[in-house]
Structure 1
């Protein structure tokens, strides 16, 4: 079968999926809410160990570091965190047995510390050209200078690689489909993020696919990824989180949604969203998300420089029992304590931001702000 034929078959089948995937295999609101009633108030972080620049370095055999993970998740347990959002990568499936073994070991460490992670299968953010092997060192002064997309631009652009992507999704989900150590599967992080200010249209060096092309490709592919995970027999809920701010009125009007948002919201068993804005905006967003009648989890928040903070946001979410997963845990090679705009204004010559953007702990294990840790403990009952 040539590439054009494969593409046409995928394009045609997408229309069929659009008609049937919204409900076929998707959890009913009653099932989703029954699942959620058994869960505590979920609090955690988007996690990679401090010595990993990205998800490949976290899980490749040469750099997988159970000792560091054990130490850092022990710190999370001590402040009451009970979940983590953890990114996987399709290229890791080139060694299915090895990756499965390491992921199983990671889940064992999580369980030891009473943490049930949400695992992310694909991610549209940052470097569009991932490669296995030794990862480069962090670029000084740049936020997330080494994080890589999954799948990368080459795989997205080449339909002959889609069976490989399907094998990865079905393989990893199938291996852990009944594993109670896993909270949920986030099938695609920020699928329509085109990295405008880092690798995309606004940056001096553009390596990202063109914005319309990337969004069109991923919009077609996303419903298939949901179906692959369901076909693999996942017993945990599936989701893909919306991340662009909209007013409550817009969220309640499907005519205002993009095709990507429609695919996300109509295929997700539980509703997830990102919110790096004020407490007042969080409160409005939560009210809008709850109108979908399903469990709601905020899978990214907490950027001090844009007024998204533990002390203000956790009490609001707890009242509504909306789970909260902040970005970052221990400052390290991702350098996400540096703001997003460091891509335009790097923090060079050892200069640090006056206010850290993300992260809870410093490299030596002390909190960035003890008052924040106190707020997390209060929210989690620790």
Structure 2
């Protein structure tokens, strides 16, 4: 199997309403281990039901998750069963699921803690719920279990099993095979693993497109990092991350539109640095770019808090441009009331516009 043709990619994209989603970690989970392990999972599923119902009522039609190898490795049958139930819940509320696997957004090995199932510790007041996070200023490459050959082989088994099981299942919307390749100062360390993920996923001839996108796009002619360029070249649809302000985001789209493939921003919304609903949602609507903001209901993962690197820059006198009066991510408070009701009104307005145009055949 080979990469989709440009025509097939556009046929897939134009055959569905505007893709608008969010990155999801339930509010009662500090991390993905807590979200996908067996412990208290019945309680977690009640949270999924409550929060994904809210998402459907708000007009979203997709969500993005990173399925954790660390839990699958210790309980693969359990993870597969819980993933099936998750897909069912999401589908019942009109949401398909984008599934990510690999992840280069990691801490250095000196800060790495062996993943252990069971109660998960929470550091309160820190983005992501951990004090030593990938969002700090790193002084050496992050560590990944992919760096261990035995773990890397098992990771491929996970991709093979999950994609093989759901390659023809429309509840899965997109396979996002590797999150932020090259981040965490890893550069091309994960390149052979990412390529292998594409090979294995492609072997199942999925009805869903494959993608993995750059997390930094130069707007002044800078080339992509090697691993990011390979990710783009392998992707059926072009995904990317962009947390920058409006003017830079326009330039990012200008660069990526040269690929002549559908575009999906799979991480956006960083209010502190001018990446807002009021600016960027209309931009993505006008440019017909699918978009997944980071976060949904504020909770134990605390992604409304700033990245640790932002606090470091502020302490070093480099953070005057950050607006510390705003949440960084997330749309709803723990009460399920909106952080800013005006944002939700804007989401509904543009979702309705896009759906009307899709039904009229003008989208």
TM-score (norm 2): 0.85
How many equivalent residue pairs? Answer: 330
1:111-260 to structure 2, matched below 5 A, reads 111-127=91-107, 128-146=112-130, 153=143, 155-194=145-184, 211=185, 214-247=186-219, 249-250=221-222, 256-260=223-227
Q: Give the deviation of 1:330 after TM superposition.
A: 0.4
Which one is further off, 52-61 or 91-100? 91-100
Q: Which residue, 281, 289, 298 being the options, matches 1:314?
A: 281
Q: Which residue, 212, 216, 230 being the options, matches 1:263?
A: 230
Match of 1:205 in 2: none
1:24-43 to structure 2, matched below 5 A, reads 25-43=2-20
Match of 2:269 in 1: 302
Q: Which residue, 259, 264, 268 being the options, matches 1:292?
A: 259
Q: Give the deviation of 1:279 after TM superposition.
A: 1.6
Q: Give the deviation of 1:320 after TM superposition.
A: 1.6
Task: Mark the runs of 5 or more structure 2 residues left unpaired by the alignment.
Answer: 135-141, 313-323, 354-363
Q: Deviations over 1:255-283 (max 9, x none)?
A: x2221112111111110111111122222
Taking a change above 3 Å as real, the CA distance of residues 263 and 103 of structure 1, as seen in their structure-2 partners, is same
Q: Deviations over 1:139-181 (max 9, x none)?
A: 12111134999xx936222223322111111011111111101
Q: Find out whether 1:378 has 2:357 as its counterpart.
A: no
| Counterpart Cα distance in 2 of 1:135 and 1:228 | 33
Conserved? CA contact 1:143–1:342, under 8 Å: no
Q: Deviations over 1:34-87 (max 9, x none)?
A: 100112111111101001111111111114311100100111111111111111
SS in 2 for 1:215: coil
Taking a change above 3 Å as real, the CA distance of residues 88 and 287 of structure 1, as seen in their structure-2 partners, is same
| Counterpart Cα distance in 1 of 2:279 and 2:80 | 39
Taking a change above 3 Å as real, the CA distance of residues 258 and 322 of structure 1, as seen in their structure-2 partners, is same
| Counterpart Cα distance in 1 of 2:306 and 2:326 | 9
| Counterpart Cα distance in 2 of 1:216 and 1:245 | 16
| Counterpart Cα distance in 2 of 1:319 and 1:175 | 36
Match of 1:76 in 2: 55
Conserved? CA contact 2:127–2:302, under 8 Å: yes
Taking a change above 3 Å as real, the CA distance of residues 313 and 344 of structure 1, as seen in their structure-2 partners, is closer
Which one is further off, 129-138 or 226-235? 129-138
Match of 1:62 in 2: 39
| Counterpart Cα distance in 1 of 2:133 and 2:234 | 25
Q: Give the deviation of 1:287 after TM superposition.
A: 2.4
Match of 2:64 in 1: 85
TM-score (norm 1): 0.81
Q: Deviations over 1:177-213 (max 9, x none)?
A: 111011101111112111xxxxxxxxxxxxxxxx4xx
Q: Find out whether 1:282 has 2:254 as its counterpart.
A: no
SS in 2 for 1:381: helix
